[in-house]
Amino acid sequence: MFLRLLYESFRRQKRRKLLAGVAIMLGVGVATAMIAVATDIGDKISRELRTYGANLIVTPQEDSLDVEIGGVNLKPPSDGAYLSEADLPKIKGMFWRNNIVGFSPMLPVPVTAGTQQNLTLVGTYFARHVLFGPQDFVTGVRTTHPWWKVQGEWPDDNSSDVLLGDRLAARLGRTPGQEIEIAGQLRRIAGVVSTGGVEDDQIVAPLPLAQQILGKPGAVRRVYVSAVTKPEDAFARRDPRSMSPEMYDRWYCSPYAQSIAFQLQEAIPHSHAEQIRQVAQNEGTVLSRIQGLMLLITLASLLASALAVSASMATAVIERRSEVGLMKALGAGNLAVAVLFFAEATLLALFAGAVGFTGGALLARQIGQSIFDSQITIQPVLLPVILTVAVLVTFAGSAAAIRRAVKFDPVYALRGDA
Amino acid sequence: MIVHNMISRVAQRRAAAPHTSMFFRMMVRAAVLRRGRAISALLAMIVAAAVATAMLNLYVDVQAKLRREFRRYGANVVVLAKAGRALPGGALARIRSASGSGGIAVPFAYAVARTSDGHSVVVAGTDLEQVQKLNGSWWAVSAWPKASHDALVGNRAAGVVGTSGQPFELSFQGRTVRLNPVGTLRTGAAEDSRVYISLADFTEWTGVPYSTVEISAAGSTEEIQAVIDRLGQLLPAADVHPIRQVTEAEANVLGKMRSTLLVAAILIILTAAVCVLSTLTGWVSDRRRDFALMKALGASGRMLQGFFAAEAAALGAIGAMFGFAVGVGAAVWIGRANFHTPVTPRFSVLPAVLLGGIAIALIAAILPISLLRRVQPATILRGE
C-alpha cells in the first residue's frame, strides 16, 4: 500500500514534483560547480601566475660576483664559472618534473657590433626541443618570459639569426630582415624584441651562437626556471638537513619553491638554485587571498543552494495539507504520513540530485574551458557526498513543513478549508 | 427605465472613483492577518537580496582589493635617463606629484666601486625608506640601514666586501668612503650582487646623479597608462615605460578572476532567485481564497492582478532594501576576513538589487494569478 501511495504520488502530481525537482537540480548543480571550481582554482591561478615568468634561478656554485649595471656586464668574460648545457635536460628527470613549466639558459657575452662596442649578446633558447629519455618537450624564453614581444619573427634555435632589443635597434637604425655585423661576421636580424627590461639594449641570440662567440661550447651562465609551486609556510623554510626522514620526505614531496630549488641543485651538478623572490614570494600571498575568497564564495553558494532546496520542499509539502488531512481522517498515524513524505523527498532528492550533479559537472567543465582553457575535473567521490547532503537538506526543508502539516485538523481538510 | 439609468450612472461614478483607501487597507490587513506566511516570504526575499548584494559588491570591489595585493610585486613603471645623459634636476619631485596619491617613486643611482683588495662591486644609492615601502615584501633584509654611512649588503656581495660585520672601504675614482654593513639583502636577482647606501651618502661620495626612478603606480590599467603619459610629457628627455613583466601578468590574472567571480555571482543569484520564487509561489497560492472572494464580490480581472502585483512588488521592495543592508554588512565582513581591509559598500548596486527583487516578486505572483483567473471563484471557495 505504501509503495502504491508513493508511486501514485509521483504519477499524479507530476507538476508539483517537477517544480521541486527543478529547484533541487539547480541547487545541487550550482553547489557542485562551485565546489569543483573552488577546489581547482588554486591550481589554475598558480598556472596563470606563471606569466610573471621564472620563479627559480640556477647558477654555478663557484660563481663570482656579477658586476652589471643596466644589463651591461663589466666583468671580464673569463671570470666566473659555467654550468654545462648537457646537464639541463636532467631537469625533466626530477621528482617535480611535471611542475616545471619551462626553463631558459642564459649566456651573456660582450661583443662589438659594427661600430658599437660594449654591447651584450645573450644566448638562450627560444622554443627549443629538448629530449630527455622518451620525453620531448619545448622550452625557452617564449615560455619563461611571455611578456617579450617580437616584431618580425623569432629566430630558429639552430640558426645564427639574432634579435635586437628595440632601443638598440632604434639607436643603430636597423629593422628586421637587415643584417648586422657581430664579432666580425654578418648575421641576419630576424626580429626586434621589446621586453621593457634590460634586454631592450642587448642582442638576443640562440645559445649555440653565443657559445661559439665566447669560445666555450656547452657553457651556460645561469638557468631561469618557471615552476608551479605551493605557497610557502613555516615548514617550507626549514633546513632539509635538520629534518627527520619522514619530515624530509614530506618536505621533498611538497612543491615548495625551496624543495624544487633543492631538487634542481641535485639534478644539475655543481649548481646553486634559489627562488627569485620577487616572483616566488608574492605569488603565495596572491594565491592565498584568491583561495580564501573562493572558499567564502563557495560557502555562500552552498548556503543559497540549501535555502533554495529547503524552501521549495517546504512549499511543496504545505500545498498538500489537505491531502495530509485526508490521510489522517482515513486512519493514518502521524508517523506513517511523515514516512511517506520523507520517502518521496528522498526519491526526489536522489534523482534530481544525480541529474543536478551531472549538470554541475558539465558546467564546471565549461567554466574551466572558457575561462582557463583547461579542464576542471570533478572527483567522483563527490557524488555520494553531494547526494547525501542533498537528501539531508531536503529532509530538513520538509521536516518543519511536515510537522505543521500533520498537526492540521483533518476536519478542515475534508471541508475543503485548506 | 429612469431607475436603470440612475443605477448605471451611480455605477459609472463609483467605477471611476479611486479605490485607494480600500486598496491599501486590504494590502496591510493581508500582511497582518497572515503574519506567518508573509514573514517567511519576506525572509526569503531578504536572504536572497542579501546574497545578491554581497556577491555584486564583491565583484565590483575585489578587483581593487586584488590590485593592492599585486602592488607587492614592486615597481610597474620605470623612468630611465636616455643613454649618456642624466635625468633633469627636480625630476623626482615632478615624478612624485605625477604618480598620484597611491604611487611610490624611488630613485636609484649606480656606480662601480672597488674594494680595498681590488674587487669590483656595484654600489647603488637610493631612498632606503621608500625602497622598503616599494619592495618590502620580497627584499629579505636582516636589518635596514638607518644612520649615515650604513650599508645594506647583498648576500653575494658580502663575500667580496667581507661578512664579519666590520666596516669596509670602497673607492670610486680616487675617492674613498667607509661603510658599516648593517644588514644583508637576499632577493635571488641582481640586487644580491650590490651594496645599497642612502642617496645622500652616494651623491656626496661619487657625485653621480640618479639615473633610474622606479615607480609603483596604483590603479587600473587605464590609470597607470595615464600616469605614463603624464610622465612622458613632463620628462621628454627620459624614457618612460611600463614594466611589462608586472603589468601584463597582473592584467592576465585579474581578468581570469573577474570572469570566475562573474560566473559565481550569476549562479548564486540564480539560486537565490529560485529560493524566493518557490516561497512566494507558495504564499500566493495560499491567497487563492482571498482572490476568489474578491472576484466573487465583483473585482475585475485587471484590478485583481494589479492588487496582487502591488502586494508582491511591495514585498519585493521591502525585502530587497533590508536584504541590501544585510548584504552590505556581509560583504564588509568578507572583506575584513579575507583581505584585512573592509570592502567599501557600493550603493550603485542598490538599484539593481531593488529592481531584481521587485521583478522576481512580480514573476512569482503574476504566474499563479493568471492561471487562477480562468477558474470559477465558486470552485476555489468550495475548497477544490
Strands B150-154 and B175-186: parallel
Residue A98 carries which DSSP code? G
Record: contact B271-A315, CB cut-off 8 A? no
Q: Which three three-digit cell numbers place residue B196? A: 645599497
What pLDDT sits at residue A399?
84
Nearest 5°: phi and psi at B299?
A: -70, 140
Question: Closest-CA residue in chain B for A30?
Answer: B267
Q: Which three three-digit cell numbers place residue A191? A: 626580429
Record: contact A417-B122, CB cut-off 8 A? no
**Euclidean distance between CA atoms A16 and A41, whole angstroms:** 37
Chain centre to alpha carbon of residue A46: 5
Q: How confident is the model at residue B163 (pLDDT cuts 50, 70, 90)?
A: low
Q: How confident is the model at residue B100 (pLDDT cuts 50, 70, 90)?
A: confident
Residues paired with A136 in a beta bridge: A131
Record: contact B285-A66, CB cut-off 8 A? no
B51 in contact with A, Cβ within 8 Å: yes
Record: contact B271-A70, CB cut-off 8 A? no
Question: Closest-CA residue in chain A for B136?
Answer: A278
The Cβ-side half-sphere exposure at B8, using a 13 Å CA radius, reads 5
What distance, in Å, lies between the first and last C-alpha atoms of chain A? 26
- Chain A, residues 63-82, CB within 8 A of chain B, namely 63, 65-70, 74-75
Record: contact A277-B83, CB cut-off 8 A? no
Residue in this structure with the C-alpha cell 681590488, named with its chain if needed? B118
Q: Name the CA dihedral angle for A399, A401, A402, A404, rounded to a multiple of 10 degrees.
A: 120
CA distance B148 to chain A (A): 24
What pLDDT sits at residue B16?
66
Record: contact B54-A145, CB cut-off 8 A? no
The least confident of A310-324, B148-162, B198-212 is: A310-324
What pLDDT sits at residue B88?
82
Residue B87 carries which DSSP code? P
What pLDDT sits at residue A344?
87
Cβ–Cβ pairs < 8 A, chains A and B = 215
Q: Name the CA dihedral angle for A223, A228, A233, A237, rounded to a multiple of 10 degrees.
A: -20
What distance, in Å, lies between the first and last C-alpha atoms of chain B? 41
Give the mean pLDDT of B46-50: 88
- Chain B, residues 237-276, CB within 8 A of chain A, namely 239, 241-246, 248-249, 252-253, 256-257, 259-261, 263-264, 267-268, 270-272, 274-276
Chain centre to alpha carbon of residue B199: 37
Residues paired with B176 in a beta bridge: B171
Which ipTM was obtained for this model?
0.85
- Per this entry, what is the length of chain B? 384
**Euclidean distance between CA atoms A246 and B172, whole angstroms:** 53
Residue in this structure with the C-alpha cell 644588514, named with its chain if needed? B183
Residue B384: Cβ-neighbour burial (10 angstroms; 0-12, 13-18, 19+): exposed
Question: Closest-CA residue in chain B for A53?
Answer: B245
Selected residue with higher pLDDT from B304 and B109: B109
DSSP A7-76: HHHHHH-HHHHHHHHHHHHHHHHHHHHHHHHHHHHHHHHHHHGGGG---EEEEETT-----EETTEE-S-
What pLDDT sits at residue A220?
94
Give the mean pLDDT of B302-308: 80
Record: contact A415-B383, CB cut-off 8 A? yes
Mutation target to probe the A interface, by most A beta carbons within 10 A, among B274, B277, B286, B380 is B274
Reduced to 3 states, what is the DSSP secondary structure of residue B109?
Answer: strand
Which residue, among B153, B133, B138, has the nearest Cα to B215 in the 3D structure? B133
Collect all residues of chain B within an 8 Å Cβ-Cβ radius of residue A417.
383
What pLDDT sits at residue A416?
63
What pLDDT sits at residue B197?
94
Among candidates B47, B80, B256 on the partner chain, residue whose Cβ is nearest the Cβ of A307: B47
Q: Which amino acid is at A357?
A: F
What pLDDT sits at residue A221?
92
Record: contact B271-A68, CB cut-off 8 A? no
Collect all residues of chain B within an 8 Å Cβ-Cβ radius of residue A280.
188
- As averages over each run of 10 residues, the pLDDT of chain A (418 residues) reads 81 78 89 91 89 93 80 70 92 89 93 83 94 86 94 92 91 90 89 90 93 92 93 86 90 91 93 93 88 88 86 81 82 85 88 92 91 85 89 85 79 68
Q: Cβ(A120)–Cβ(A202) under 8 Å?
A: yes
What pLDDT sits at residue A417?
62
Percent of chain B with pLDDT over 70: 94
**Euclidean distance between CA atoms B137 and A70, whole angstroms:** 23
Reduced to 3 states, what is the DSSP secondary structure of residue B384?
Answer: coil
Give the mean pLDDT of B335-363: 82
B300 in contact with A, Cβ within 8 Å: no
Does B242 have pLDDT greater than 80? Answer: yes
